[in-house]
């Protein structure tokens, strides 16, 4: 007999199933079954369809969750501002690379060519980009005077190189290290006295 699901509100059940499904998508890709999801969540398979209309709706919710900021803000805020700029940037690139690599791995596993539309084309996405810009500008802080370009341009280039240097297809399997990224950007965009 299938396990009896612990009673919980529909929103809570949706969140739990979404998290479980996201973990399974990272392993099985779109081939994951509702039976695997139910077993991993400790519920009967029918419980899934009490809160999701279909497996596709559940998978879509899990993929949307993968693109949420999650703990990224806290990790960036946790970077020690007393370190030299290069050390802060190394920490930042390490955080961003972990995020990018996990996202790229998932996208390859589920054969997703690009992120879901809402990730770039929504008011929420605009708000997130603005918040991230403020976080990163704060991370540079008063050391912006060490740069030969405006801080926003420097950060744009840093993020682009981190993104491209973290993608296994773009780099042809030769991923860039945080040190390579930071040295390249600081050398290219740092002030020359």
Domain of residue 141 covers: 68-189
Average pLDDT for the chain: 90
115-163 residue pLDDT tens: 777 667 778 878 888 899 999 999 999 999 999 999 999 999 999 999 9
Pick from 142, 157, 1, 50: nearest CA to 93: 157
Structural domain count, the chain: 2
Place of tokens 């930042």: 92
pTM of the shown model: 0.83
Residue 2 maps to a domain: no
Residue 4 maps to a domain: no
Q: Quick one: 52 and 102 in the same domain?
A: no
Angle at Cα 160 formed by Cα 74 and Cα 189, nearest 5°?
100
Boundary-marking domain end, from 33, 49, 65: 65
52-64 residue pLDDT tens: 999 999 999 999 8
């Amino acid at each position: 007999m299938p396990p009896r699901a612990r009673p919980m509100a529909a929103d809570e059940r949706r969140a739990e199933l979404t998290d479980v499904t996201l973990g399974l998508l990272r392993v099985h890709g779109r081939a994951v079954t509702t039976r695997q999801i139910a077993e991993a969540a400790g519920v009967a398979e029918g419980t899934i369809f009490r809160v999701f209309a279909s497996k596709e709706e559940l998978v879509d919710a899990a993929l949307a969750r993968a693109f949420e900021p999650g703990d990224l803000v806290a990790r960036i805020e946790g970077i020690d501002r007393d370190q030299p700029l290069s050390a802060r940037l190394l920490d930042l690139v390490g955080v961003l690379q972990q995020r990018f690599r996990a996202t790229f791995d998932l996208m390859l596993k589920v054969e997703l060519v690009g992120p879901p539309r809402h990730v770039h084309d929504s008011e929420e996405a605009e708000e997130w980009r603005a918040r991230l810009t403020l976080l990163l500008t704060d991370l540079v802080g008063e050391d912006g005077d060490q740069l030969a370009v405006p801080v926003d341009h420097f950060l744009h280039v840093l993020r682009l190189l981190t993104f491209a240097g973290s993608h296994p297809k773009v780099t042809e399997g030769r991923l860039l290290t945080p040190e390579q990224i930071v040295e390249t950007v600081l050398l290219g965009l740092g002030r020359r006295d």
